[in-house]
């Protein structure tokens, strides 16, 4: 599936970059969205932690398709530490075990889903989060880590240096495209409410634009489309001028951050997950990847259905100071992360 040499480098970097990792040893970890970009890399990192460091973690991969989970993780699904959990974020969850940690990574985080199924997007983000919080409330222990998004900040050019966790921007609530950031905002409030009213140990990770070799076949985000083109040896097609500025983060650094938050994040707090050394425009991202792959960047307008799912935010830069205060530091700049992505997938 991947070039094992390059992919293993990223897994080791994630484990080496995590702070307080030993807190997870011997625990039960449930990951929803286990076959997604972030969830699958996190699963692989923890499997490697068990294999190379004897961490003794019981891993529960939650997903709608058992066949899909087994296809993604291959021989690892036969290891004693690996368990499949049937899970649909829009339906009632019934777990027959008590996880020590729940990482809620299940979501439709790509533009085509926002434009074609905004209702389903909101249902998964809201109902899925509440169901898991209810389970932890019932069992009376366990830490919940919700993967949120920097999109919750919306648009506000005043914060030129990046949004900190207490900052706010504006989002047009009457746009169907707002289904994703608005439902993530509400899901964050659910975490805070369950922590205050029921004592659930909930933490929120606000991810910037995470990229890496674990992008899925259904991911319609621009960066995933760029990587597909580059891997095919084709020119990267830009569907806008690419002037929007984003915080990017390689998935290995993002997973190191999530592991750090599981171990050291404060209850009922949100943390930006972003890399100060990876702030770039969409066009700059495409040009760096094109240079690595030896292809060119071209321009073409997208179809209306796809364009309807694009965010209108011009500058989405996050300030990671709060996360850095826990000791986390990223190991990849944008070129290094894109190089490892390309080399990991090339074969």
DSSP assigned state of 151 = G
For residue 20, what are its two tokens?
């307080």
Rounded Cα–Cα distance for residues 233 and 292 (Å):
11
Q: What is the pLDDT of residues 39-78, one digit of tens each?
A: 999 999 999 999 999 999 999 999 999 999 999 999 999 9
Q: Is the pLDDT of residue 115 over 90?
A: no
What are φ and ψ of residue 209, in 5° steps?
A: -80, 100
Query: Would residue 295 count as lying in a domain?
Result: no
Query: Would residue 146 count as lying in a domain?
Result: yes
Confidence of residue 299 (pLDDT cuts 50, 70, 90): confident
Confidence of residue 289 (pLDDT cuts 50, 70, 90): very high
Residue closest to 240 by CA, chosen among 281, 292, 290: 281
The pLDDT score that the predictor gives to residue 260 is 98
Q: What is the pLDDT of residues 5-29, one digit of tens each?
A: 899 999 999 999 999 999 999 999 9
Domain span at residue 26 reads: 4-211+249-277+317-332
Residue closest to 235 by CA, chosen among 302, 280, 293, 303: 293
Q: What is the CATH number of the domain that holds 14?
A: 3.40.50.720
The pLDDT score that the predictor gives to residue 315 is 85
Q: How many structural domains is the chain composed of?
A: 1
Query: Would residue 220 count as lying in a domain?
Result: no
| Helix, strand or coil, per DSSP, at residue 222 | helix
> Greatest CA span in the chain, whole angstroms?
55
Query: Would residue 325 count as lying in a domain?
Result: yes
Q: What is the pLDDT of residues 244-265, one digit of tens each?
A: 899 999 999 999 999 999 999 9
- Which residues are within 8 A (CB) of 206 and not within 5 positions of it... i.e. 6 or more apart? 148, 149, 150, 152, 165, 270, 271, 272, 273, 318
């Amino acid at each position: 599936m991947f070039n094992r040499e390059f992919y293993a480098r990223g897994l080791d970097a994630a484990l080496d970059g995590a702070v307080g990792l030993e807190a997870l040893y011997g625990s039960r970890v449930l990951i929803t969205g286990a076959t997604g970009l972030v969830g699958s890399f996190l699963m692989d990192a923890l499997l490697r932690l068990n294999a190379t460091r004897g961490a003794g973690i019981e891993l529960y991969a939650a997903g709608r398709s058992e066949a899909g989970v087994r296809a993604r993780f291959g021989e690892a699904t036969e290891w004693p530490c690996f368990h499949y959990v049937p899970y649909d974020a829009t339906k009632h969850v019934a777990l027959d075990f008590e996880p020590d940690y729940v990482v809620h990574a299940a979501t439709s985080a790509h533009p085509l889903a926002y434009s074609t199924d905004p209702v389903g997007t909101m249902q998964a983000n809201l109902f899925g989060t509440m169901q898991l919080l209810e389970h932890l409330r019932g069992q009376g222990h366990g830490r919940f880590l919700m993967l949120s998004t920097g999109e919750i900040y919306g648009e506000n050019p005043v914060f030129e240096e990046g949004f900190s966790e207490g900052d706010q921007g504006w989002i047009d609530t009457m746009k169907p495209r707002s289904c994703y950031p608005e439902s993530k905002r509400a899901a964050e409030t659910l975490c805070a409410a369950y922590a205050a009213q029921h004592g659930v140990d909930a933490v929120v990770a606000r991810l910037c634009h995470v990229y890496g070799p674990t992008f899925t076949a259904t991911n319609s985000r621009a960066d995933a489309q760029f990587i597909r083109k580059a891997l095919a040896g084709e020119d990267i097609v830009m569907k806008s001028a690419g002037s929007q500025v984003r915080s990017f983060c390689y998935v290995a650094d993002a997973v190191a951050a999530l592991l750090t938050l599981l171990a050291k994040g404060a209850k009922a707090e949100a943390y930006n997950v972003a890399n100060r050394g990876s702030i770039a425009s969409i066009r700059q991202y495409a040009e760096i990847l094109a240079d690595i792959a030896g292809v060119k960047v071209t321009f073409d307008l997208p179809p209306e259905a796809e364009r309807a799912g694009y965010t209108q935010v011009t500058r989405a830069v996050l300030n990671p100071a709060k996360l850095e205060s826990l000791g986390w530091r990223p190991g990849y700049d944008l070129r290094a992360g894109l190089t490892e992505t390309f080399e990991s997938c090339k074969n």
